[in-house]
Amino acid sequence: MLQTIVRDLAKLERNIEQLKANQQQITSDNSKAIGELKASQEEMKRALAKVSEPSPPRASPPPAPRAPTFRKPERSPPQARYRPRYPREWIYDDYW
């Protein structure tokens, strides 16, 4: 029974050491990830600063020639536009 307890304690000690090693690996990985994030943040800041810098004024192109403007003809009132060919009394609706 004492040997079983000794084996179990040795196994428990190995598991604790393995947990410590895993914890150190996780801490190292997190530190690397934090460093990479900070580096990418700095890179983004530089890119944004570059984009938001005012660009030097460009020489404006010469103005385009203006197209001629045409006036629309004035429209006459509707009653003036419609003129029957024959007076109304000359037209027979019941001819046929």
- Mean pLDDT, residues 39-62 taken together: 83
The full 3-state SS of the chain, as one line of letters, equals CHHHHHHHHHHHHHHHHHHHHHHHHHHHHHHHHHHHHHHHHHHHHHHHHHHHCCCCCCCCCCCCCCCCCCCCCCCCCHHHHCCCCCCHHHCCCCCC
- The answer on pLDDT for 85 being more than 70 is no
Q: Supply the pLDDT for residue 54.
A: 72
pLDDT bin (cut points 50, 70, 90) of residue 69 is confident
pLDDT bin (cut points 50, 70, 90) of residue 80 is low
